[in-house]
Amino acid sequence: MPRLLLLRHAKAAAGSLGAPDFDRPLTAQGRRSATLVGEHIARHRLEPDRILCSTSRRTRETLAALLPHLAGDADMRMARILYEPAAGHYCDIVGRYGLTANTLLVIGHNPGMQETAEMLIGSGSGELREAAVTRFSTAALAVIDFEETRWDEVVRNSGRIVAFFRPRDLELVGGEGGGDDT
């Protein structure tokens, strides 16, 4: 049963006049949030065996913060198409590049994350689905399972959401409070 982890990049610095959006770095809070997500992935044994990551600076920095917490060797692919997918969502990219992965992690951007979650989630907790399709904040992580055996067989509404976490949720569980909601 394939498992998809959708991870929006962590909080990035505000854009500045003349600077490309593509090159925005993570903030200090963003680096902390990405580390929390990496720890959460490891603690709950959600480690991917394949990672697809946008080539933007903020997604690469998010991935860099996760890597120290991942135990296994994951096949990693940087894909510029994740920065601005032509279809507005990542479904085609997942089908094409998921290959034989049991657990596929996609690190990308909104609105692509929300739109992908909305298209793929057909069952599971209504509350989790609602959060994933309306409040996919920075460094939020959606965990979606599928009955299909291959990524190129995954179709609309065939996924079951099993978890959705935002950094704020993880910090509250850890007792630190605060959060990264934007």
Number of domains in the chain: 1
62 within domain boundaries: yes
15 within domain boundaries: no
19 within domain boundaries: no
140 within domain boundaries: yes
Query: Taking the CA atoms of the chain, what radius of gyration do you get in angstroms?
Result: 15
Report residue 99: phi and psi, to 5°: 50, -125
94 within domain boundaries: yes
> Which span out of 11-15, 27-31, 85-89 was modeled with the highest average pLDDT?
27-31
- Distance CA(92)–CA(94), nearest Å, equals 5
What CATH number is associated with residue 158? Answer: 3.40.50.1240
Instruction: Kindly report, residue by residue over 106-165, the tens digit of the pLDDT.
Output: 999 999 999 999 999 999 999 999 999 999 999 999 999 999 999 999 999 999 999 999
Q: Has this prediction a pTM greater than 0.75?
A: yes
Residue 177 has pLDDT above 80, yes or no: no
* Residue 88: per-residue pLDDT: 85
181 within domain boundaries: no
- Confidence band of 182 (pLDDT split at 50, 70, 90): very low
110 within domain boundaries: yes
Q: Are strands 103-108 and 3-8 parallel, antiparallel or unpaired?
A: parallel
158 within domain boundaries: yes
- Distance CA(106)–CA(59), nearest Å, equals 10
Instruction: Kindly report, residue by residue over 64-123, the tens digit of the pLDDT.
Output: 999 999 987 899 999 999 998 888 899 999 999 999 999 999 999 999 999 999 999 999
Nearby residues of 173 by Cβ (< 8 Å), 6 or more positions away:
none
- Distance CA(65)–CA(30), nearest Å, equals 10
| Residue 99 belongs to domain spanning | 3-10+24-174
